A and B are shown apart, each in its own frame.
Chain A
């Protein structure tokens, strides 16, 4: 009797979870449906509606998506590389060196967690403009390259590395830079992966700052390209916009589906203080 009740409760839970999951997936499924079907089937869900890739071909011909994709790719790579270098050095400094004003400086760094560069877009635009870097890919990345979040995560990770390992290396005569490179960095691999995934998804999807700082095809990332393409005044029909939308999100979505566990774990990892 009791077992039966538990069984029913469990089934209800499972069903509930599945329904909610389905509901959550629906908009994405819908986008794919619309992208792969002729316009007249956009909201007409017939199981055997003819499939087509025509929408993609047309979207492709209307806007320079390959260029946007390349820009995004360069942008994300550039940011990630710079972040790894800057954050590693800073995190090492904060984790294992005692220096004058360390706590104050660290608190100032953490301020960036709350006040992200896009909040200050007016003044940051001014700065970039004075540097003469408007409408360039490095300009999109510059404000994000020294990331408080990355410094924070890596510092946490470095701090958990046992002092004994470092002392053992010191006894062996390894230099401080060598210790960073041979002890800290390899042992924090999972943190680098976690931070890397979070950073890549953030900058792949980032929009407002790139929107204000770019003005030509040469530097626009995918998100900005898509926004311009999909603007109502462009007069492009819905199926083509969804095709472009699917193209924009497909690379990241594909990576997410392939490395689902890794993604979720990375976001988890970065959430635990």
Chain B
């Protein structure tokens, strides 16, 4: 292939040739399956005796009446509402601490970041043991202080929150990195001006640092929300969504439907909902980002 700069149409052809392989692959595994999902959600599941048939919105009607779906969706909401703000707050604290000139700061930074590079599966294995009744670390600590043994993951009231704690641990360090990057881009002159002008640390944080980190917070927030819909690896190891779907999340429910119950058309229906949710998040992000005040 010889790329030529000069004539106008060559620019078009070259441009297209360059992006084509990647665009083809992306559409094959992103755009095509989105369409195909919508398509398959309108059909019934084919079986050996009965071929698949067009059933219109039947799957969606079923979905509306599916208690497990609503359970899973509300779980996902709780999961997002807990993990996102808390891990962002912790990430911000971590970044602020590390951005100070403290002793051993690269060690501390490493400690914070380590969970990020570990596979979720490995993390789930470790935490599974922490939550094990009687032998587990938490129960051992608990019994030392005279508490009773708990079946942390086996109890529908606590299972989801146990996972939330673990995910916060796993993700905070990742988000911290974005804050660190943003903090390093703030001019030290601003801090000095604040010092000369007599602003206390809290006042300075509230009036300057936090507002200036707003774009980062938005970026991290969108990432965190998307992650909370995407990250279900640990469920496979720790709870399998149970007990009684108390800790199940939307993507895990999709996975179960497709690969445990082999109901791919219902799984496709659920996927359409998940894609819709993600699309809404994207739109919200764009609107907010567009509205965001420009500076510099």
B264 touches A142 (CB 8 A): no
The answer to whether A48 has its CB under 8 Å from any CB of chain B is no
Of residues 107 to 125 in A, which have CB atoms within 8 Å of B's CB atoms? Answer: 108-109, 111-112, 114-125
Question: B194 to nearest A CB, angstroms?
Answer: 15
A121-B255, A223-B121 known; A24+B111 contact, CB < 8 A: yes
Selected interface stretch from B17-25, B48-56, B79-87: B17-25
Assembled-state Cα–Cα distance A176/B98 (Å): 44
Question: B126 to nearest A CB, angstroms?
Answer: 5
A13-B100, A105-B23 known; A24+B115 contact, CB < 8 A: yes
Q: Which residues of the partner chain B approach A63 to less than 8 Å between Cβ atoms? A: none
A111 touches B31 (CB 8 A): yes
User: In the complex, what residue of chain B is closest to A24 when comparing beta carbons?
Assistant: B111
Q: Which residues of the partner chain A approach B230 to less than 8 Å between Cβ atoms? A: 116, 118-119
Question: A182 to nearest B CB, angstroms?
Answer: 14
Question: A159 to nearest B CB, angstroms?
Answer: 15
A227 touches B37 (CB 8 A): no
The answer to whether A62 has its CB under 8 Å from any CB of chain B is no
The answer to whether A8 has its CB under 8 Å from any CB of chain B is no
Of residues 19 to 75 in A, which have CB atoms within 8 Å of B's CB atoms? Answer: 20-22, 24-25, 27-28, 30-31, 34, 42-43
A267 touches B14 (CB 8 A): no
A264 touches B121 (CB 8 A): no
**Set B18, B117, B122, B226: member contacting A92, Cβ < 8 A:** B18
Chain B interfacial residues counted at CB < 8 A? 102
Which A residues contact B (CB, under 8 angstroms)? 10, 13-14, 16-18, 20-22, 24-25, 27-28, 30-31, 34, 42-43, 86-87, 89-90, 92-94, 97-100, 102, 105, 108-109, 111-112, 114-127, 142-143, 145-146, 148, 151, 170, 175-177, 201, 204-205, 207-208, 211-212, 222-223, 226-227, 230-231, 238, 241-242, 245, 248-249, 252-253, 256-257, 260-261, 263-264, 267-269, 271-273
26 residue pairs from A and B, CB less than 8 Å apart: A16-B97, A21-B108, A24-B169, A42-B135, A43-B135, A43-B140, A93-B14, A109-B19, A109-B26, A111-B282, A114-B281, A115-B30, A118-B251, A122-B258, A122-B267, A177-B1, A201-B116, A208-B251, A238-B129, A242-B126, A245-B122, A248-B122, A252-B119, A257-B110, A268-B177, A271-B177
